[in-house]
Amino acid sequence: MRRRLYYLLPDIPSARTMLDELLLARIEERHIHFMAREGSLPDDMPGCSFAMKTDLVHGAQVGIVMGATIGFLVGFVLALSQPYGLDVPTGMILLMALGGALFGAWASGMNGCAIPNKKLEQYTDRIEQGQVLMMVDVPVRRIVEIEDMIARRHPNFNFAGVEPPMLAFP
């Protein structure tokens, strides 16, 4: 299990230094992400993906839960009421819940694409001023080690927080 650490770095050269130090600390590049002002991050530094910048994942998670619940309830009501003498088998309730979950994930995910990520919204002003947001996904057992390493080598870097643990399913 990993936790995401957030750091606000003063500029691109310090972000490059941190990238090198984290790679030397055996944090894989796929677990390090940077967010800077539009167009200022060099191509050789790992940026944020579209899913990180938007509320796509959160929207899809909410859609799965809502869609599955509504699909299950509609299937259950159809099985109980038997409209037009239609006999609805029990397995159909589960299929409707699955269909609702898939549709909910798709529809809510599409809506989430248009919304900026709420977790990153608080850093927008500083990023626009030229600072760089670094997000590092660190194994839980190494959080203290990585935080200490960064604090020792770069005491002027602003520690912006740790993302709370995420449930496997909302």
Q: Is 11 helix (H, G, I), strand (E, B) or coil?
A: coil
Write out the two tokens for 60. 């899809």
Which class is domain 2-53+117-162?
alpha beta
Residue 43, pLDDT > 90, answer no
Give, in order, the Cα–Cα distances in Å from 130 to each of 14, 22, 30, 32, 118.
12, 22, 24, 19, 20
- H or E element that contains 120: helix 118-121
What's the pLDDT score for residue 159? 73
For residue 5, which of 169, 151, 126 has the smallest C-alpha distance?
151
Domain ranges in the chain are: 2-53+117-162, 56-112
What is the rounded distance in angstroms from the CA atom of residue 13 to the CA atom of residue 134?
A: 13
Q: Locate tokens 């159809």: which residue?
A: 78
pLDDT digits 0-9 by tens, 98-145:
999 999 999 999 999 888 888 888 888 888 888 888 899 888 898 888
What does the pLDDT read at residue 170? 44
| Pair 64, 104: CB distance under 8 Å | yes
pLDDT single digits (tens) 54-98: 888 889 999 999 999 999 999 999 888 888 877 878 888 999 999
Which pLDDT value is given to residue 168?
A: 46
